[in-house]
Structure 1
Amino acid sequence: MQDLQEVFQRLQENKKKLKDLKASYRDALLTSQQYVEVSDELKVFKEKKKEIENVTRGQFAAEFMQIEDLKIDLASDMELISDIALTQIMKGETVAVKDEYENEYEPIIKVNFKKSA
């Protein structure tokens, strides 16, 4: 099995390479006059689209309140289901749920690292 620190270092190096490659690609695009012109046109269209969306959103104010409430409920329930599943896993219990079509779902455990203070 590979060493955790070695894999972490490789990840860091590859992230830096990817960032550098993306930056050089972005710079090359910005030197293209055609790209700049199309980007400017796209900004205008995005602004028009946003105006249309805002007018329509005003007409559906009640529905958008429901959407926001449902988003909050979904986020809360996702956190709750994660907490319940993790508790069951720590107790050594089998964790699985089924949907209305009897499809079984198993939890996926994911580990992330963040820089410590």
Structure 2
Amino acid sequence: MDHNIQDIFMGIQEKKSELKDLKSVCKQVLESSGEYQEVEEQLKTLREKRKVIVKKAYEQCSGEMIKIEDLKIDIESDQEMLNDIAMTKYTKGETIEIKDKYDNEYEPVFTVKFKKAN
């Protein structure tokens, strides 16, 4: 498999552009539909109503909400540390073994992403 990475990247960019154009066409068709506009307004009203209900519920369990936010931060921090340790072990050629409380084994999955420079 002798693929040129630049050619593959350009192909992906072209497909993303085509996808964006097609989605735009579909969005225009939807926005020209009166029925769609009516349902969108109903959704907006329901979302606002839901937001008020959720806010009232959260006010009743503010202690739990603080704990939830703290746990989210702890989990994110621990996940970052786990990723760093796994990457370090991987680059050193060491075996990475993780098991949960049910003895299920987990293996690392690495991904490569590209972002625009500058």
Structure 2 CA distance for aligned equivalents of residues 100 and 48 of structure 1: 41
Q: Does 1:42 align with 2:43?
A: yes
One-letter amino acid matched to 1:20: D
Output the TM-score relative to the length of structure 2: 0.97
Structure 2 CA distance for aligned equivalents of residues 105 and 57 of structure 1: 35
Structure 2 CA distance for aligned equivalents of residues 82 and 99 of structure 1: 16
One-letter amino acid matched to 2:99: K
Shift of 1:96: 1.9
Q: Does 1:25 align with 2:26?
A: yes
Alignment deviations for residues 25-60 of structure 1 (CA, whole Å, 9 cap, x no partner): 111000000000110011001100100000001001
One-letter amino acid matched to 2:27: R
Alignment deviations for residues 57-86 of structure 1 (CA, whole Å, 9 cap, x no partner): 100100000000000001001100000000
Instruction: Provide the aligned length of Structure 1 versus Structure 2.
Output: 117
Pairwise mapping of residues 77-116 of structure 1 onto structure 2 (< 5 A)? 77-116=78-117
What fraction of aligned residue pairs are identical, expressed as a percent?
46
Structure 1 CA distance for aligned equivalents of residues 26 and 75 of structure 2: 38
Find the counterpart in structure 1 of residue 68 from structure 2.
67
Output the TM-score relative to the length of structure 1: 0.98
Structure 2 CA distance for aligned equivalents of residues 18 and 63 of structure 1: 42
One-letter amino acid matched to 2:71: L
Structure 2 CA distance for aligned equivalents of residues 34 and 82 of structure 1: 48
Gaps (5+ residues) in structure 2? none
Q: What's the Cα RMSD here? A: 0.6
Q: Which runs of 4+ in 1 moved over 3 A?
A: none
